[in-house]
């Protein structure tokens, strides 16, 4: 294996033919890495590469770097490179540049491609339509295997996934699919109709990308056709895109739960990190002030029994932990499609029971702790009951908050945490300090 | 599309030949769903299916259901079904049953298969060796395309991934790979050596499955060969397995961060949920008690200035939020391989700067708030400084805790949260109440 410097060196020193042969063995991802550690002018290296390899490099580059690569070239080469790119990757590039640049690129494309790209740009970027590619192999059901192979020889290199061949009727309605391996192992005179799989699982063009990911996970497909309401095949989604989407959705979930902007990068700038985190901290400050205001209602009681201040963080904190457990379960259940109309009630019943049992166990533990620490059984009772109530409320809030957010179309991962901890903080303090106020005569 | 009852009904009422044709159009996943909503005896339906389809059903079933399906059959049919299963799925099944049952299944397998399965069972279940399948298509580099196609006609249906054909030498060392589509579009007399890709990206058999997932994500492969230290090809990992692994790793990360056992299921029993959550709540109770003990050191101060109790939750809570932001960033960076020796110091510098800036902003906000609420500028100063210090500590803890856990081989997602919030709670209270105690003469 060569190291990165050698790759770049080879390109600079050799002619087109030698480069072409060399590139067969260099994955575009590795080439991009080599290029990023090269200190000279990138354009001098890139200009020696063929158009189709540059299209591959742009395909593999990060979304926000794609246009930078393309704009290194003359207008003429730009057009050639764009015509080599797959439609879904071109759309990703166009989504990341400003309107004027987008228009000028589309204007220079040939008419049919331009129309296709414009249509793709209309779809929600997070929907099946927004991630599909329009390049796929389609044949008619009366063709023979031999005819299909001839067709593949003429067309395959342009298509994104050559593992399935789709069978369409005259109106482009999807009739069936033939895996490439069945083409290889069938006799030349076999008719497509006889070997195609007729019941094809498809995804509707509006489907959310996370649900598309769940279908890939469920069935283990390599690619899935995308159809409109009439069964007309519009494009395909391949599993390599799904792996990237799953990774991004995962990062987004984790980040949103923690109050980070999903665009924050670990090696990003200080400024972008502050922009990602400070607003969320200020939102949380708001909820912390609500909790503080609750405590301030009971300052008189705390003045008389200062041990309450010591135990305050326990009740509120444990409620927050229990609420987070439930809401994480629910958010994941929603994302994986495991929580649905059929089991919603069952799950609620289970969560309440779990809250009751965990609340009872922890209530007894902290009641004992309170009794031993302060030496007053009523103190133990007050903190035990407050803990019990807060844990039950925590599981109920952890259940309802994400579901309600989902119903009003807010991402549950984004806002559930702050709502649930507000509930558990405010009510935790309220139960504990309120009960103590009621029982104050037994506590002094 | 038929509904689920119709599928089962059809199987029960028809003969083997009609069933065979029907099954072509029913994905095993859908069959399993139909079976799970059928109220009669599953075995009566299953017995009418061919061995290879039952093997597919077991492949697609959840790990803990695989053996239940298999054990419905007679010993003889069991053996036939097992011989139809792919090696990686068989290993998954064997990992989920007890030693005696495992031994008895392996004893009844043919010698070569038994040896292979035993070897696979030796690998760490979360490593490349633990998830690879040993069925792949291999040819020699001097074969012609025509010979390869003949070979495929004889062997393809048994292989897990027929999209790539691997080229091995006489010692099984991997020499190259030919995508199936290149076989289809090449002339019959072309020699494999002339069309194979020579620089194949492989994964070592010991590699952790999460790192394998990152390689799939990086390169967009459909399958990757697994090799030993001598370059001998041992098996392949296909992308559909990776999608499942990524989903499971994601669930594991989210659950561990929230203090849930990764085996907890949303529709599981109350008992299993309590077993998953209560231990974690008790661990957190321990840290809450530590925080409470810190507060109790300052009960004298709180007794004199009860407004401290009101502001306590703000300082500790905000520290927790800021610490969670950093640790989530670091945990994700570790998982994706984006945090490494090269940028570790850069990232630390950035996190400290972010802590300083966010700490200053929030310090000023709460200082103003404290001043207005309590009407004493020293009170504002005390809470402002405590907030600033706690936010800086929080980012530093959020950086180091996951990295240290990783270095001592504890999953950072599992324990980072509890350590970081212990630090931010204890130090938050300590800074705030400690400063107040030092400045007590200016506060009363």
* Nearest beta carbon to residue B358 from set A239, A281, A308: A281
Highest mean pLDDT among A86-100, A133-147, B104-118: A133-147
Q: What CATH number is attached to the domain comprising A10? A: 1.25.60.10
Looking at residues A89-95, what average pLDDT do you find? Answer: 87
Q: Is the pLDDT of residue A21 over 90?
A: no
Q: How far apart are CA A348 and CA A332, in angstroms?
A: 15
pLDDT for B203 equals: 95
Count of helices and strands (H, E) across chain B: 23, 6
Looking at A79, A105, A128, which one is the last position of a domain?
A: A128
What average pLDDT does range A25-42 have in this prediction? 86
Residue closest to A148 by CA, chosen among A194, A212, A86: A194
Residues B356 and B386 in one domain: yes
Q: Is the pLDDT score of A78 beyond 90?
A: no
The minimum CA-CA distance between A37 and chain B, rounded to whole Å, is: 13
What is the domain range of residue B337? 270-443
Q: Does position A1 have pLDDT exceeding 50, yes or no?
A: no
- If you average pLDDT over residues A120-140, what whole number do you get? 91
The pLDDT value recorded for residue A267 is: 82
Q: Say whether both A197 and A95 belong to one domain.
A: no
Interface check for B178 against chain A (CB to CB < 8 A): the answer is: no
Whether B263 is covered by a domain: the verdict is: no
Q: Within a domain: residue A344?
A: yes
DSSP helix/strand/coil, A260: coil
Q: Determine the residue among B154, B185, B430 to mutate to test chain A binding: the one whose Cβ has the most chain A Cβ atoms within 10 Å.
A: B185
Region label for A120, one of left (φ > 0), alpha (ψ between -120 and 50) or beta (otherwise): alpha
Give yes or no for residue B372 having a pLDDT over 90: yes
Q: For B223-274, write each residue's pLDDT tens digit.
A: 999 999 999 999 999 888 888 888 888 888 889 988 898 888 888 889 999 9
Sign of the alpha-carbon dihedral angle for B298, B304, B306, B311: negative
Pairing outcome for strands A164-168 and A138-139: parallel
Domain CATH number, residue B278: 1.10.357.20
Domain shared by A146 and A114, yes or no: no
Whole-number percent of chain A with pLDDT over 90 = 46
- CA distance linking residue B24 with residue A196, whole number of Å: 10
Using the beta-carbon criterion (under 8 Å), do A306 and B302 form an inter-chain contact?
yes
Domain count, chain A: 3
The proportion of chain A whose per-residue pLDDT surpasses 70, expressed as a percent, equals 98
Strands A174-179 and A164-168: antiparallel
Pairwise CB contact (< 8 Å): B278 & A253 = no
B34 and B66 belong to one structural domain: yes
Nearest to A226 by CA among A245, A198, A200: A200
Same structural domain for residues B123 and B210?
no
In this predicted model, which residue has the larger pLDDT, B16 or B160?
B16
Q: Cβ A163–B156 below 8 Å, yes or no?
A: no
Residue B25, pLDDT score: 79
Residue among A278, A402, A274 at smallest CA distance from B321? A278
Q: State whether A225 and A325 are in the same domain.
A: no
Beta-sheet strand order (sheet of A233-238): A203-204, A223-227, A233-238
State the first-to-last Cα distance of chain A, in angstroms, to the nearest integer: 78
Q: Specify burial of residue B348 (Cβ count, 10 A radius: 0-12, 13-18, 19+).
A: middle
**Residues B151 and B112 both lie in one domain:** no
How many angstroms separate the first and last alpha carbons of chain B?
78
CB B318 within 8 A of CB A281: yes
Long-range contacts (CB closer than 8 Å, 24 or more residues apart) made by B1-7: B1/A199, B4/B30, B4/B33, B4/B34, B4/B37, B4/B38, B5/B34, B5/B37, B5/B38, B7/B31, B7/B34
B74 in a domain, yes or no? yes
Decide: helix, strand or coil at residue B235: strand
A292, A297, A370, A398: which to substitute to probe chain B, counting the most B Cβ within 10 Å? A292
Dihedral over alpha carbons B6, B10, B13, B19 (to 10 degrees): -170
Judged against a pLDDT cut of 90, whether residue A203 lies above it is answered with: yes
Minimal C-alpha gap between B104 and chain A (Å)? 30
Is the CB of B222 less than 8 angstroms away from the CB of A242? Answer: no
- Write out the DSSP string of B117-160: HHHHHHS-TTBHHHH-BS---EE-TT-BHHHHHHHHHHHGGG-S
pLDDT band at B67 (very low <50, low <70, confident <90, very high): confident
> Which of A:202-231 have CB within 8 Å of B?
213, 216-222
Is the pLDDT reported for residue B338 higher than 50? yes
Tokens representing A241 are 């895109």
Q: How far apart are CA B217 and CA A245, in angstroms?
A: 10
Is residue B385 predicted with pLDDT exceeding 70? yes
Lay out the sheet containing B174-179: strands in order across: B138-139, B164-168, B174-179
- Residue of chain B minimizing CA distance to A323: B258
Kindly give the interhelix angle for B412-438 and B270-296, rounded to the nearest 10 degrees.
20
Q: With a cut of 80, say whether residue B158 has pLDDT above it.
A: no
pLDDT tens digits, A311-330: 999 999 999 999 999 999 99
Pairing of strands A233-238, B138-139: unpaired
Q: Are residues A95 and A143 in the same domain?
A: no
Phi-psi region of B375 (alpha: psi -120 to 50; beta: other; left: phi over 0): left
Residue A4 clears pLDDT 50, i.e. is over it: yes
Query: Do the domain assignments include residue A106?
Result: yes
Residue-averaged pLDDT of chain B: 89
Residue B244 located in a structural domain: no
A153 CB neighbours in chain B (<8 A) are: 184-185
Per-residue pLDDT at A235: 93
Residue B22 has pLDDT above 90, yes or no: no
Q: Does A150 touch chain B (CB under 8 A)?
A: no
**A106 and A208 in a common domain:** no
* Residue B415 phi, psi dihedral angles, 5° rounding: -125, -5
pLDDT recorded at residue A156? 62
In this prediction, residues B136-142 reach a mean pLDDT of: 92
Domain membership of residue B60 (yes or no) is yes
Token couple for B318: 């905000």
List the CATH number of the domain containing B226.
Answer: 3.10.580.10
pLDDT > 60? residue A2: no
Helix (H) or strand (E) holding B319: helix B307-335
Of the listed ranges A146-150, A231-235, A368-372, B355-359, the least confidently predicted one is A146-150
For residue A317, being part of any structural domain is answered with: yes
Q: Which range (A304-313, B15-24, B287-296) has the least confidence?
A: B15-24
Strand partners, A227: A204, A233
Q: Is the pLDDT of residue A96 over 60?
A: yes
Q: Are residues B145 and B121 in the same domain?
A: no
The secondary structure of residue A124, as a DSSP letter, is: -
Helix (H, G, I), strand (E, B) or coil at A187: coil
Is the confidence at residue A154, as pLDDT, over 90?
Answer: no
- The residues that bridge with A224 in the sheet, in sequence order, are A237
Helix H or strand E segment including B265: none
Q: Are residues A307 and A332 in the same domain?
A: yes
pLDDT, mean of residues A172-176 = 95
Q: Which residues contact B78 (CB under 8 A, 6 or more apart)?
A: B70, B71, B105, B108
Q: Is B222 a member of any domain?
A: yes
Contact A233, A173 (CB under 8 A): yes
pLDDT classification of A161: cutoffs 50, 70, 90: low
Residues A388 and A430 in one domain: yes
Answer whether residue B32 shows pLDDT above 60.
yes
Q: What is the mean pLDDT of chain A?
A: 89
Averaged pLDDT, A125-149: 91
Predicted-complex ipTM score? 0.80
Mean pLDDT, residues A230-238 taken together: 93
Angle between helices A4-13 and A28-36 (to 10 degrees): 90
């Amino acid at each position: 294996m060569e190291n990165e410097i050698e790759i770049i060196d080879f390109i600079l020193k050799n002619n087109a033919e030698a480069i072409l042969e060399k590139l067969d063995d260099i994955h575009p991802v590795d080439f991009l890495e080599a290029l990023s550690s090269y200190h000279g002018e990138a354009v001098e290296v890139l200009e020696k590469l063929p158009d189709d390899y540059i299209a591959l490099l742009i395909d593999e580059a990060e979304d926000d770097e794609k246009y930078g690569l393309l704009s290194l070239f003359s207008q003429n080469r730009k057009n050639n490179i764009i015509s080599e790119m797959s439609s879904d990757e071109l759309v990703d590039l166009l989504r990341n540049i400003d309107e004027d640049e987008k228009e000028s690129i589309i204007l220079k494309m040939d008419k049919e491609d331009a129309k296709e790209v414009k249509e793709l740009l209309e779809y929600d970027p997070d929907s099946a339509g927004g991630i599909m590619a329009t390049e796929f192999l389609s044949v008619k059901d009366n063709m023979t295997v031999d005819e299909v192979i001839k067709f593949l020889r003429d067309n395959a290199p342009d298509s994104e996934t050559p593992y399935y061949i789709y069978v369409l009727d005259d109106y482009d309605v999807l009739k069936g699919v033939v895996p490439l391996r069945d083409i290889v192992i069938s006799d030349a005179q076999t008719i497509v109709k006889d070997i195609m799989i007729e019941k094809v699982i498809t995804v509707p063009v509006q489907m959310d990308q996370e649900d598309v990911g769940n279908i890939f996970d469920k069935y283990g497909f390599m690619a899935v056709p995308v159809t409109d309401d009439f069964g007309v095949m519009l494009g395909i989604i391949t599993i390599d895109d799904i792996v990237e989407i799953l990774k991004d959705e995962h990062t987004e979930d984790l980040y949103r739960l923690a109050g980070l902007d999903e665009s924050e990068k670990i090696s990003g700038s200080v400024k972008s990190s502050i922009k990602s985190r400070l607003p969320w901290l200020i939102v949380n400050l708001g909820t912390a002030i609500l909790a503080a205001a609750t405590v301030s209602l009971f300052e008189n009681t705390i003045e008389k029994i200062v041990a309450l201040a010591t135990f305050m963080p326990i009740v509120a904190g444990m409620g927050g932990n229990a609420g987070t457990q439930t809401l994480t379960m629910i958010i994941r259940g929603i994302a994986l499609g495991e929580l649905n109309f059929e089991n919603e009630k069952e799950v609620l019943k289970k969560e309440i029971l779990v809250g009751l049992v965990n609340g009872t166990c922890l209530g007894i533990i902290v009641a004992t702790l309170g009794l031993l620490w302060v030496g007053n059984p009523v103190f133990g009772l007050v903190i035990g009951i407050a803990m019990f109530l807060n844990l039950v409320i925590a599981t109920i809030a952890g259940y309802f908050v994400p579901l309600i957010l989902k119903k009003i179309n807010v991402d549950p991962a984004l806002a559930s945490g702050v709502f649930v901890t507000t509930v558990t903080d405010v009510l935790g303090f309220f139960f504990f300090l309120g009960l103590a106020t009621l029982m104050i005569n037994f506590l002094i």
